[in-house]
Amino acid sequence: MDSTISENAFELDTQRQADIIAKTARNSAEISIIASEIDLDNPETIAAFGNKTAHEISRFSDMILDTIKITSLENPEALLVQLNKIMNKFDASDFSEEQKSGLIVRIMKRTRDSIDALLSKYSSMGGEMEKIYVRLKEYESEIKKSNSLLDSMFEKNIGYFETLEKYITAGSSVLQKIQSETIPQLESKATLTGDQMDRLNLSNARNMEEMVQQRIYDLELAKNVSLQTMPQIRLIQKGNYNLIRKINSAFIITIPIFKQSLIQAITLKRQLIQAKAMAALDEKTNELLVKNSENTALQSKMLAHMSSGGALDIETLEKTWNTIVKGIEETKQIHEDMKRKRDEGTQRLHQIQEDFKKRSGV
């Protein structure tokens, strides 16, 4: 519906412009000069009347078709579709919160690996977008050249339209003169004289009338083609401008915003992972501090207990004293036993000696 409204607006605008041009052309001083190109005694002048401009209109239509091919939206649209596919590679989960790691080393390694993976993935996306950007900017340059060419073609078409309007007005004035002056005069003369030559001249005049009418009709058709070409040119230009707008919207507004957001997301991701690593480090540090404080308290109690008494316990002294006393008593008993045994041994040795003397008679 919007397209229909737009096309109708173009048609109304060009129709108003055409009406102004036609009015100016009909009042041009060139009309009489152009009308003089027709020689009723020479049919070839009627056939050639406005012929050059009519042929230019035909050639001009071919140029319009070529321009439509040049400004085809197929390739740029394909690139925009490809750009959309690249944009779809963006995955919000890449920037979601990760599971908490139990070890600082694993978290620090994950920090490096995660950031490297993100940079690698999205740097690749940026490179792909830049390639499409270069190609689309080439299309944009071609489109701008095409629109400049279309402007020239539009102005040239207005010139053709104005010239055709002048030829049609001049042809119409010749036709009116034939119908209002030449034919009535020849009819009166042929009726009055009844001469065969006068009748032939009347017949030729009527043939000229028909040829001029046909020629005017042909020029009207050419003018209609020129009139229809005006909104076509503007619609092509509008399509080109819309494509340029889409390209600029993608690369002047959308892509920079996406890149800025991407940089912010990666920065926040880095901060998130590093914050987790620092949190894990703090946790381990706190655990170590708690453990150290527990060990310090335990040792303090031990030292306090040790320093609160003497070097040796009373029980230990009593035990060692009893051991020494017992050892002294046992040693004394051993000496007494040994002395008793020595005494007994000495007595037995004396007995043995006495017995030896008795037996030997000494």
Q: What is the pLDDT of residues 263-318, one digit of tens each?
A: 777 677 667 766 776 776 677 777 777 787 777 777 777 766 666 555 556 677 67
Work out the percent of the chain whose per-residue pLDDT is above 90: 12
**Does residue 221 belong to any structural domain of this protein?**
yes
- The answer to whether the Cα torsion of 79, 81, 87, 91 is positive or negative is negative
φ and ψ of 71, to 5 deg:
-95, 25
Q: Is 60 exceeded by the pLDDT of residue 129?
A: yes
Q: Which one has a higher pLDDT value, 261 or 311?
A: 261
Q: Is residue 309 a part of any domain in this protein?
A: no
Same domain, yes or no: 267 and 178: yes
Are 189 and 273 part of one and the same domain?
yes
Residues 129 and 272 placed together within one structural domain of the fold: yes
Q: 97 and 176 share a domain? A: yes
Between 51-70 and 196-248, two packed helices, what is the crossing angle to 10 degrees? 20
Query: Residues 345, 210: one domain?
Result: no
Judge whether 356 lies within some domain. Answer: yes
CB 115 within 8 A of CB 266: yes
Q: How many domains is the chain built from?
A: 2
- Given pLDDT bands bounded at 50, 70 and 90, which one contains residue 212? very high
pLDDT of residue 107: 46
CB of 246 closer than 8 Å to CB of 83: no
Considering the domain boundaries, does residue 208 fall inside one?
Answer: yes
199 pLDDT band, cuts 50/70/90, is very high
Considering only residues 86 and 193, tell me which one the structure prediction assigns the higher pLDDT: 193
| Average of per-residue pLDDT values in the chain | 75
**Same domain as 116, residue 262:** yes
Q: Are residues 202 and 348 in the same domain?
A: no
Q: Is residue 298 part of a domain?
A: no
Where does the pLDDT of residue 18 fall: very low under 50, low under 70, confident under 90, or very high at 90 and above?
Answer: confident
Contact 208, 40 (CB under 8 A): yes
Task: Indicate if 331 and 259 belong to the same structural domain.
Answer: no
Query: Does 232 share its domain with 352?
Result: no
Q: What percent of the chain has pLDDT over 70?
A: 67
Q: Which of 290, 279, 289 is nearest to 104 (CA)?
A: 279
Domain range for 327: 316-362
Query: HSE (CB half, 13 Å, CA atoms) of 163?
Result: 17
Helices (H), 88-103: none
CA distance 266 to 118: 7
Across 101-117, b (16+ Cβ under 10 Å) vs e yields beebeebbebbeebbee
Q: What is the mean pLDDT of residues 114-133?
A: 68
Residues 82 and 187 in one domain: yes
Residue 241 lies in a domain: yes
Give the Cα separation of 32 and 326 in Å (integer). Answer: 163
Structure tokens at 215: 């020629």
- pLDDT-wise least confident of 34-38, 108-112, 281-285: 108-112
Residue among 2, 160, 146, 125 nearest 71 (CA): 146
- Has residue 345 been placed in a domain? yes
pLDDT digits (tens, 9 = 90+) for 132-191: 777 777 777 878 887 888 888 888 888 888 888 889 999 999 999 999 999 999 999 999
Is residue 354 in a domain?
Answer: yes
Whether 250 and 286 share a structural domain: yes
| pTM (two decimals) | 0.56
d(CA 222, CA 54): 6
Q: Is 82 found in the same domain as 195?
A: yes
